[in-house]
Structure 1
Amino acid sequence: MASPLLTLPGAVAGPAGTADHYGEPVAEQRMLEQGRAIVDLSDRGVVTVTGPDRLSWIDSLTSQAVATLEAGGSAETLLLDPQGRLEHSIRLIDDGVTTWMLVDAAQAAPLAAWFDRMRFMMRVEVANVSAEWATLGQLLPADAALLVEPAAPNGQPLLWRDPWVAVRDGGWQYAAAEGHPAAGYAAVELLVPRSELPALAERVRSGEVAVAGALALEALRVAAWRPRLNDADERSIPHELDWLRSAVHLSKGCYRGQETVAKVHNLGHPPRRLVMLHLDGSASVLPEPGSAVLAGDVEVGRLTSSARHHELGPIGLAVVKRSLDEAAPLTVPAVVRDAEGSPTDEVVPVAAAQQTIVPPTAGATAGVPRIPRLGAVRR
């Protein structure tokens, strides 16, 4: 369903039914970074869990410690499969009565169905309320204020504060702490009744509220090294994306996939690692997510996100082999599009320089020495 904010002047629709931009993507990005614009995220989904056991139940199933989350608090957690691979990323708000799960649109129905099957004797109720509630986004630096008032059906504002700005209690950061760009990514998401979106569009038309497109938020997210579920595939584990930083509590106890999380973190190394790519912009083409990352003629990974940043230029996130030389020159094939935006048969190689996020040495934090194989000769 198309968003009412797509009726605004200059709106260019994206594939999800919200605006990619409103005619000035660079200016929108700067306004968003300064906390002076909102982003329409109404294409995303919302799942609710009610009942007195809701927080302890979610805590027992997912990667973050949320059993004692206070009313008005927010958190991020991951649902893993039994082998520790990523299945769902979940942004949580609890208002003292209901836990609200903010997720990507495609996640809402399967996530609600899975949680509903796991209720057993727990005093909880699960519902997919995506049709009734819409998500809006904003960046909230210290000198900025919320531009739209979030709903508060139970007396607490439905406001999610992105924990990516700092390492959470019980979490772990593999990226170098010095110069980490997350400190400037003070993102929030808020919920409003979907029925209020037409009135919000009128506020934008009148100049009361400024709006930025989804491409602006994507560029700032990539520059902050902030993972989303679209950066993962069916083999991804949280360590590869440095997601232990905000969404995993390493000492909270058992949950699905916990054995893999602990084993890789303490004893092993993640088989792949996240890097940021600085892409050559001279050809004026931007490689698309899913494109191969090449070292010479050898595929060493996949581009998972790409964007044009107002200061850094063309950038992307990629997941590459752990063994890849951190200084290796890379290329990413990009499809050339015509004036109407349709892909052509022309493909050009775009040079890429990697900036390490997850280093090849990530993991093995327990420092257990390797035991020589039986019969091995010591030298």
Structure 2
Amino acid sequence: MAASPFLALSGAVPAESLDLGVAGHYGNPIVEQRKLERGEAIVDLSDRGLVVVTGPDRRSWLHSMASQNVERIAPGESAEALLLDASGRIEHAVHLVDDGESTWLIVEGDEAAPLAAWLDRMRFMLRVEVADRSAEFAVIAAMSRAALDAAAPAASPGGVALDWIDPWASPPPGAHQYAEPAGHPASAWQWIERIVPRPALADAAAAVAAGRVAVAGSLAAEALRVAAWRPRLATEVDEKTIPHELDWLRSAVDLGKGCYKGQETVAKVLNLGRPPRRLVLLHLDGSDTVLPTPGDEVVGEKVRPEPEAGEAPERRAVGRITSSAMHHELGPIALAVVKRAVPGDLPLIVLSHGIEVAAAQVEIVPAGAGAAVDVPRLPRLGVRKP
């Protein structure tokens, strides 16, 4: 695939690890964040993949496999869905928009080919066709339609503009969230992903060069995402992740639908159990100017037993960093997945680059998150003593 035209813009610095193939920034990530947040800038997401499903059975077929209700999605409507394994662990996450003739799935770039191959194997005798269209179409994003319109019109092969509007800010019917709604930062995350013909990337880059719209790199987008507590497949998910741990029931799971792979685990953990791990936001000590990297260990001090006088408190590993960023208002922040039993007020330490970075946690999935259904205790059976 050809290099993105955005990499030829003045000041463009390629992303180094996450989001390879697009610009990490254009000289000043903090300024870019502010412009992006105000809806004045666009972001090049041409590293994303696009899988397209066509055919009259496409929506009912996808509905039968996905965690979200997509059977009656109207042309132009957006949805987010997860594909789980039999144990409820996340395998794929898709941003979905239908144009009345085809259903378009925006995914991480390295997910497009394996997802298309897996879906193709699941067609059986149904009237559906699956294609990886990543080479023909690309994605740009912004916090406003005005910025996107200044860059390039959305593709509309079915007569419907292909704009995916992130439901994170306004959870759809059938959703559930562990985080407290009051003060949730998702209200500031007005994210739109626009599908465009891949040749239109040059037009969008030209609009930036001509000053018709500003541009922001992937670092700016990631900083705002982390601040909004928004999970992402490429960063927060590992081989054990279930949706509850990331508060992903908020936008990608309809609890009113059933009969999809992994649904039993989704219902059981929500109604009868607790998420085994939980997502937290970490405010990091910035005095050492060290920004942790994904995978860095998070440790906490054991509360009990109390150490003897002069003895250093015992530490234990409690989790790992999944994403980190330098935010224009919050400073250094990170998302981390920690063990469920870690107290919400426990100060944490991130071990990064040989340095200990102090961290204060903000609960996203609370430590006390419990079952959504109260199950009465059964009386113990036995011989009653007189």
* TM-score, normalisation: structure 1: 0.93
Give the Å deviation of 1:83. 0.5
The correspondence for 2:368, drawn from 336, 361, 374, is 361
**Counterparts of 1:202 and 1:14 in 2: how far apart (Å)?**
21
**Counterparts of 1:271 and 1:33 in 2: how far apart (Å)?**
34
Corresponding residue pairs, total: 366
Equivalent in the alignment of 1:328: 346
**Counterparts of 1:34 and 1:376 in 2: how far apart (Å)?**
70
1:37/1:147 contact within 8 Å kept: no
Equivalent in the alignment of 2:88: 84
1:254 and 2:259 are equivalent in the alignment: yes
2:42/2:147 contact within 8 Å kept: no
Equivalent residue of 1:147, what SS?
Answer: helix
Equivalent in the alignment of 1:147: 150
1:316 and 2:334 are equivalent in the alignment: yes
Amino acid of the residue matched to residue 5 of structure 2? P
2:138/2:197 contact within 8 Å kept: yes
- Give a deviation string over 1:179-203, Cα, whole Å, max 9, x none: 0010111100001111122222222
- Structure 1's 124 and 372: CA in aligned 2 closer, same or farther, altered over 3 A? same
* Identity across matched positions, percent: 59
**Counterparts of 2:35 and 2:49 in 1: how far apart (Å)?**
25
- Structure 1's 371 and 320: CA in aligned 2 closer, same or farther, altered over 3 A? farther
Rg larger for:
2
RMSD over aligned Cα atoms: 1.7
5 Å-filtered alignment, 1:1-379, equals: 1=1, 2-15=3-16, 16-140=20-144, 146-148=149-151, 149-229=153-233, 230-296=235-301, 297-335=315-353, 347-371=354-378
**Counterparts of 1:166 and 1:47 in 2: how far apart (Å)?**
25
- Structure 1's 127 and 374: CA in aligned 2 closer, same or farther, altered over 3 A? farther
Equivalent residue of 2:43, what SS?
Answer: strand
Equivalent in the alignment of 1:342: none
- Structure 1's 155 and 280: CA in aligned 2 closer, same or farther, altered over 3 A? same
* TM-score, normalisation: structure 2: 0.92
- Give a deviation string over 1:3-27, Cα, whole Å, max 9, x none: 1100111001013110000001111
Amino acid of the residue matched to residue 147 of structure 1? A
Equivalent residue of 1:294, what SS?
Answer: strand
2:177/2:249 contact within 8 Å kept: yes
- Structure 1's 323 and 125: CA in aligned 2 closer, same or farther, altered over 3 A? same
Equivalent residue of 2:355, what SS?
Answer: strand
Give the Å deviation of 1:140. 2.3
Q: Mark the runs of 5 or more structure 2 residues left unpaired by the alignment.
A: 302-314
- Give a deviation string over 1:285-314, Cα, whole Å, max 9, x none: 100011111113311001111001000000
